[in-house]
Structures are given as structure tokens and as C-alpha cells.
Amino acid sequence: MNRLEKKDRLIRLALLMVAFSAVSILAVITVFMFEQGTPIMFKYGIKSFLAGSDWYPSEKSFGLWPMIVGSFYVTLGALAIGVPFGLACSVVLTEFSSARLRRIIKPVIELLAGIPSVVYGFMGMVILVPFIRKTFGGPGLSVLAAAVILGIMILPTIISISVDAILAVPPAYREGSIALGATPWQTVRMVIMPAARSGIIASIILGMGRAIGETMAVIMVAGNAVGVPGSLLAPVRTLTSNIALEMGYAAGEHRQALFATGVILFIIIMILNTIANVTSSGRKRKTKA
Amino acid sequence: MRSPFYMSSFLLCLVLAAACGGRRSGNDVIVAGSTSLQPFADKWAEIFAKTRPDLGVSVQGGGSSAGIQACKSGACQIGMSSRELKADEKDLHEIIVARDGLAVIVHPSNPVRGATLSEVKQIFAGDLVNWKFLGGPDKPITVVTREEGSGTRGAFQELVMGKTRIFRGAITEDSNGTVREIVAGDPHSIGFISLGLVNGQVRALGLDGVEGNEANIRNGRYRLVRPFLFLTRGEPTAAARAFIDFVLSDEGQRLVTNEGLIPVK
């Protein structure tokens, strides 16, 4: 082995180490979180942790059910708002507007993703919450407020990925459909959307991941009550806000219970990401074939 | 050929060493704990630095429970707590450095001027849900509380709620400021914050017919009072002793009064 080969090897090793550092950070976080969070789940029983509805850490009762339901409601609400708007926007951008307009509007929408979440939260607190309180009653800090804010926050994710998915549909599909006498809307509905389906689903799942993981904006507008919300206008607490709200003062088992909250959140997001990966790899295979 | 690697790792070590070394110097006393006490401790430390520039005092937050833990483990010389110690924490040496009233606050437009402590307890337990029972408008009460683990919530729980739980539907916020902001925005809400933080945006309710002010706290008629504690493990170190003496001195206590707290003397 000459000197050059040695040097080559060394550099390869160094690069490998750097490349693996990212993976090992993930591994360290995962191990740490599970190590901190799981003992308390087993101590009090996984069932009472997941299904218990009383969260009074100072009295040793750790039920995450209201937060799990809360995260679910808020995310569902965000999708109910973000998906129709996002898909409509991507269809208009790809099918019913010129390439020039798209070149202007798409970057602007992607700029939305760059606004810090605390700004969304602040806008929500100052404008949306008082509006909901005056129009619909209740405290204003509610599932509805969180869903609207999150719905707006996931728009850039949904739009930019589904625009790319729709643009990736081969032009021949579109031309064939028009040639057979279909109207542009029929083409979109029956040819383009089904062909871009896996990309669109991936965009929705990634948006969903963003909505579940969002913390700051939700804390500011959701009211953070630990009960299962009875209506759209009731306050709600999500898994992420539970950690961020109480982290500052938590000690002992309370702290471990917050790590356990993180474990649950981690598992939910892993499942979502896996689904997103599977659907988008399905898309790649399809476009190749 | 390998020298760049050695060089860079050597440099990295050097930087790390410098960073660690830099942080260690000048912290003779570390004060950590309650975020309610932290702003006052910051001011004390600032003035103390002028009289005793040879002693470095570093103030950190973290919350009452964290401060108690840090003091027990010896990670800080002085722990700060804004709630009474629990039975298993009583082995620490406690010094009351100031007292703070808790105010139950409502929106300024609310016609209700006062309530009994038992009414307040029922409101926060979720049993009394409409202002009309207190002589106010026929509107549901929006209850705002602090998060679990907060010293302010701990004090409220102990002084008002006793063994009763704050009900699950209560809106939960993580600072005095946010609670005040929400109560200032919602005409039908009720919350509790430190008495010193009550301003024109909100109104404090009289409790059992007693207004919350310094005179009523001093003569013992206003009941929602919590101690602000400094904690040490055993005898304080000489540097910690000097800081505590300063805090309890006339100058230290004058600052307490200026900031809306109740001095201990």
C-alpha cells in the first residue's frame, strides 16, 4: 500500500465518521429518551399512561389520554383546513395558470414556511383568539384556533410537494385525456390527481407530521387545558405542548413522565414518517415504469 | 500527511478547554431555582457586585423544584424556592428573604368586586361555573391556571385549594405574564398571579372582604401570602453568607419593597 492509498483510506474513514455522526446523534437521542421515559411507563403501567385521563404529576397521576386525543383533534382540524386549500392551490398553480405566475407564487408560498412559528402563534393570540371569542363565544383559546393556525402553517409543505408531484405526471397523460375529449377539470380529477396520488399523500403525511410536532404556536393559542375537549371551542393540550409547558419546573417522576410523553410522540411521528417513505418510494417506482 | 488531523483535534481540545475554563472563573456563589424569585435575585446580585466586586454571584432559573434539587445535590450554594418546602425537603436550611401576595385577578370590566376563598376554590375546582352566582353577568367563567410544577400554582394549591384538584378544563399557561395577558383580554376570565404584578390591565378581587395590599399582608388579614425562600445545605459558605446578609440588609430589603414584594422586617 503506497502513501497515496493510505491517505485515501484515511480521508474515507474521516468522511465516514462525519457521515455517521448525524445517525449517531439520532441514536443517542432515541436511547436517552427511551431510557428516561420508559421506566416510569412500566412502573405505573402502560395502560394507565395511555388511557388515564388525569394528569396531575404532583399527585403521581400521569394520564396522557387527553393529550393524545388533543394532538389527534388538532392535527385532524389542521388537515381539514390545510388539505383542501393546499390541494386547490397546487392544482391552480400547475394546471390553470401560466408558468410565469407559478414562478412568482410558488416561492412566495414557500416563504410561509420560513416564518418562525412563534410569529404564527402571536398572530393567532392577538387576532384569531379574540375573533373566535367574540364570534363564537367560549374562551377563544381553543381547538379551532390551533387548527386554523396549524392549517396555515402546513400549507407550504402540502403545496410545494404536491405541485412537484403534479408536475412529475408525464405530459402524455394530460394530452391523451384532452385528446379523448375530456374537459380540463375532468382531466385534473380523473387523470392527473390519480397519477400524482402517492406524491399528494406523501405531502399530506408530511404536513401532518409538521402539525403534530408544532409546539410554540399551539401553546399560544390552544389554552392547554388537560381535559379531553368537548367541542371545537374548548381549550386543548397537545403532547408537544405538554412537554414544553412543564419542562421548566419538572423534577423527578414528573420529568420522567415528560420524557415518556416524548416517547409516545416519537413513536407516532416514526409511524407517520414510515408511511410517508413507503408511499413516496411507491411513487418513484411508478414513474420509472 | 496526518498532521492536519492532529492539528485540528488539538485545536478543538484547546477551544473546549478555554470554553470550560472561562465559565468557571468568578462564580463564588451560584443561586438557582424559582423563576418568580429570579428577577429579584438578579437585581440583588447586580447591586451586591458593586459593594463586593471580589465575589462573583451567578443567578440561574430552573424553577423551585429544580432549585431545591440543585441545593440538595450541592450544584448550587443557594437554592431559591417560591413555595413552602415539602416534608422530604425539610432537611435544607431555609431563610425567608421576602414575602409575596397572590392575587386572584379578573378583567377590569367585571362587576364582581370580591369573593370568598371558598367561592374561589369552587371556581377553580370547576364547581362554580357562571358569574351570575357571584352577582355578575350570566356568562360562563373562563378559568386560567398555571402549569403543574410552578411555584405559584403550588402556593395557590396549598393556600386555596387544599386537597381539591384544579379542574381539568382550566386553561393552563406557563408564566404570570401570560395569565395576566389572557385575563386582560377575556372579560369573563379569572386567574391568579403574583400580587406585585397586578397592573391596570387586570383587577385583583378582594378575598373574604380583604383587599390584597401591603398593610393587610403585614397585619396578617390577607391570607394568600407565600414565602420567598433562600435555601442552603447546612451552613452557608462564607461567600454565600455574605450575599444572604446583603439580601436581608436594609438596602437589600428596600429593593424588595420597590419591586412590589413584602419585606421580611
Confidence of residue B26 (pLDDT cuts 50, 70, 90): low
Q: Tell me whether residues A58 and B154 touch, CB distance under 8 A.
A: yes
| pLDDT of B161 above 80 | yes
C-alpha cell read off for A207: 404536513
pLDDT digits (tens, 9 = 90+) for B96-120: 999 888 999 999 999 999 999 999 9
How far is it, in rounded angstroms, from Cα A262 to Cα A239?
8
C-alpha cell read off for A116: 418562525
Mean pLDDT of B153-168: 91
| pLDDT < 70 regions, chain A | 1, 282-289
Pairing of the two strands B142-146 and B189-194: parallel
Mutate to test the interface with A, among B5, B8, B147, B153 (most CBs of A within 10 A): B147
Residue B188: per-residue pLDDT? 93
pLDDT digits (tens, 9 = 90+) for B63-76: 788 888 888 888 88
Mean pLDDT of B213-237: 88
How far is it, in rounded angstroms, from Cα B31 to Cα B38?
9
Mean pLDDT of B221-234: 90
Residue B263: per-residue pLDDT? 85
Which residues of B touch chain A, with CB atoms under 8 Å apart? 1-2, 5, 35, 61-66, 68-69, 140, 142, 147-151, 154, 157, 165, 167-174, 182, 185-186, 189
Amino acid identity, position B229: L
pLDDT digits (tens, 9 = 90+) for B70-100: 888 888 899 998 888 888 888 888 999 998 8
Q: Is residue A36 part of a domain?
A: no
Angle, in degrees to the nearest 10, between helices A155-167 and A143-153: 40
Confidence of residue B8 (pLDDT cuts 50, 70, 90): low
A vs B: CB pairs below 8 A: 94
CATH code assigned at A124: 1.10.3720.10
- What ipTM was estimated for this complex? 0.81
Confidence of residue B23 (pLDDT cuts 50, 70, 90): very low
Residue B111: per-residue pLDDT? 93
Asked if residue B55 lies in contact with residue B47, where contact means CB atoms within 8 angstroms, the answer is no
Q: Tell me whether residues A249 and B142 touch, CB distance under 8 A.
A: no
Around Cβ A100, how many Cβ atoms within 10 Å? 8
Mutate to test the interface with B, among A15, A249, A261 (most CBs of B within 10 A): A249
| pLDDT of B6 above 80 | no
pLDDT digits (tens, 9 = 90+) for B43-64: 899 989 888 888 888 998 887 8
How far is it, in rounded angstroms, from Cα B164 to Cα B170?
14
Q: Is residue A189 part of a domain?
A: yes
Residue A97: per-residue pLDDT? 87
Q: Is residue A264 part of a domain?
A: yes
Amino acid identity, position A111: L
Residue B18: per-residue pLDDT? 47
Helical segments of B126-169, H only: 151-156
How far is it, in rounded angstroms, from Cα B204 to Cα B102?
9
Overall number of domains in chain A: 1
Confidence of residue B24 (pLDDT cuts 50, 70, 90): very low
User: Given A138, A140, A246, which is nearest B149 (Cβ)?
Assistant: A246
Confidence of residue B238 (pLDDT cuts 50, 70, 90): confident
Q: Is residue A28 part of a domain?
A: no
Question: Looking at the DSSP assignment, which residues form a beta bridge with residue B207?
Answer: B115, B210
Confidence of residue B2 (pLDDT cuts 50, 70, 90): very low
Q: Tell me whether residues B1 and A6 touch, CB distance under 8 A.
A: yes
Residue A242: per-residue pLDDT? 93
Q: Is residue A32 part of a domain?
A: no
More reliable by pLDDT, B66 or B145: B145
Residue A116: per-residue pLDDT? 92
Residue B138: per-residue pLDDT? 92
Q: Is residue A40 part of a domain?
A: no
Range of the domain at A284: 49-288
Q: Is residue A243 part of a domain?
A: yes
| pLDDT of B156 above 70 | yes
Measure in Å the smallest separation between the Cα of B171 and chain A Cα atoms.
Answer: 5
DSSP for chain A, written as a single string: --HHHHHHHHHHHHHHHHHHHHHHHHHHHHHHHHHHHHHHHHHH-HHHHHH---EEGGGTEE--HHHHHHHHHHHHHHHHHHHHHHHHHHHHHHHSS-HHHHHHHHHHHHHHTTS-HHHHHHHIIIIIHHHHHHHH-S-S-SHHHHHHHHHHHTHHHHHHHHHHHHHTS-HHHHHHHHHTT--HHHHIIIIIHHHTHHHHHHHHHHHHHHHHH--HHHHHHHB--SSPPSSTTS-B--HHHHHHHHTTT--THHHHHHHHHHHHHHHHHHHHHHHHHHHHHHHHHHHH-
Q: Is A255 on the interface with B (CB under 8 A)?
A: no
How far is it, in rounded angstroms, from Cα A236 to Cα A246?
15
Work out the mean pLDDT of chain B and round it to a whole number.
Answer: 85
Residue A1: per-residue pLDDT? 64
Q: Is residue A210 part of a domain?
A: yes
How far is it, in rounded angstroms, from Cα A286 to Cα A201?
14
